[in-house]
Amino acid sequence: MKLMRTPKKVDIDITNRCNLRCRYCYHFESAGDADGDLPAEEWLRFFGELNRCAVTEVTLAGGEPFLRGDLREIIRGVVENRMRFAILTNGTLITDELAAFLASTKRCNYVQVSIDGSVPDSHDAMRGRGSFERALQGLLALKRNGVRAAVRVTIHRKNVHDLEGIARFLLEDIGLGSFGTNSAGAMGLCRKNAEMVQLTTEERTMAMETLLRLSKKYNGRIQAMAGPLAEARMWLEMEDARLEGRPSMPNRGALTACGCYRSGLSVRADGVIAPCTMLSQIELGRINRDDLATLWREHGLLNALRERGHIPLSRFPFCEDCDYVPYCTGNCPGLSYALVGEVNHPSPDACLRKFLAEGGRLPDRALLC
């Protein structure tokens, strides 16, 4: 596959600080948890290089980006360097004044706010008392000021029974056009709190079925790139392929997931460049020291990652005798690293055979949109 000359998108942790300590945060206690926030001047200098590389979009994350007192200066640097931006936030620090500023830049693709419940209890259980109300106020400030708000619901043991309420609250009461879902992956703080956070097989089964049903009810306005809804769709597709006896599926049967490092890079709060936020332990270089375009094209670790799609799943003892191998992607390398200590390995958490062996059930395919 051909490689872009430069990355198109860069995800940047502009701070390592956060005002919350969500029990399933993938950032804290991971390699991305890198102290030593850089001054704005460092980021502005880096944005100049992104401009020269024709990068078109940055995602500002953390930590909590709105904790930075110089966030406006940083965003002005994004704008002056011909880029658009998105922000990932817990929403609790967004004021009308900040939302108006974001709108005034005309370059904000979206602000992603985490809302995990329809009522404070299911949200605050993992994010801390009072955070639901403050996140909601932040979300409403964005809406009032015409900033596109993208809500992400992380599904865990304390809100898995509230999915209908969450969908009704976000889509009907708040009036969002859509929202996204995922589930807490076994990274960062989530690993420490796995018992409290991660869905049991029974809960995962229920979440898949409920989300498919709700997605149908709301005409596809519930989305997912990962988590129970994405798994339900992918696993049903794999099961259909197996039942039909199809020999393979395009771009499957090897470690083909995911391709994020073909279009972008990430930068930790300490300025270290990594292939992806989920692979922060792979240190490729440092901003304002290493030439980004050269690193992008020539770094051995990055190019090795881009080749992992040629590693067949049949090579792994973990996949031995699995009927789903021809239809499987091996899933997220970051999650694989967190669980088995290897990037080039299928992720056990995303294994359909394992899920079924542990008593999981696939939802009725009639629920698919």
Partner 1 sequence: MDVKKPIANPLIVLREEFDDWAILFDPDTGNAFGLNPTGVFVWKLLDGRHNPDDIVNRLREEADDVPEDAGEHARRFIASLEQQGLVGYEIEQGPGAGTGVRG
Q: Give the integer Cα–Cα distance in Å for 326 and 247.
A: 7
Q: If binding is defined by CB under 8 A, does position 8 make contact with partner 1?
A: yes
- Work out which of 44, 54, 186, 293 binds partner 1, going by CB under 8 A: 54
The verdict on whether omega for the bond into residue 369 sits within 30 degrees of 0, i.e. cis, is: no
Query: Smaller CB distance to partner 1: residue 108 or 206?
Result: 108
Out of 21, 41, 42, 82, point to the residue binding partner 1 (CB under 8 A): 82
Q: Enter the tokens of residue 38.
A: 């850089």
Give the residue with the Cβ less far from partner 1, 9 or 252. Answer: 9
* Binder among 35, 39, 69, 106 for partner 1 (CB under 8 A): 106
5 binds partner 1 (CB under 8 A): yes
57-61/84-89 β-pairing: parallel
Residue whose C-alpha is closest to residue 261's, from 352, 353, 163, 332: 332
CB of 159 closer than 8 Å to CB of 122? yes
4 binds partner 1 (CB under 8 A): yes
Select the residue interacting with partner 1 from 75, 83, 141, 190 (CB under 8 A).
Answer: 83
Q: Is 109 in the site for partner 1 (CB under 8 A)?
A: yes
What are the backbone angles phi and psi of residue 10, rounded to the nearest 5°? Answer: -135, 130
Among 45, 107, 217, 297, binds partner 1 (CB under 8 A): 107
Return the range that interacts with partner 1 (CB under 8 A); candidates 41-49, 82-90, 183-191, 348-356: 82-90
Binding mask 124-143 for partner 1 (x = CB under 8 A): --------------------
What is the largest distance, in Å, between two alpha-carbon atoms of the chain? Answer: 58
Taking the alpha carbons at both ends of the chain, their separation in whole angstroms is: 32
3-state SS string over 187-208?
A: CCHHHHCHHHHCCCHHHHHHHH
Applying CB under 8 A, which residues contact partner 1? Answer: 2, 4-6, 8, 54, 56, 79, 82-84, 106-107, 109
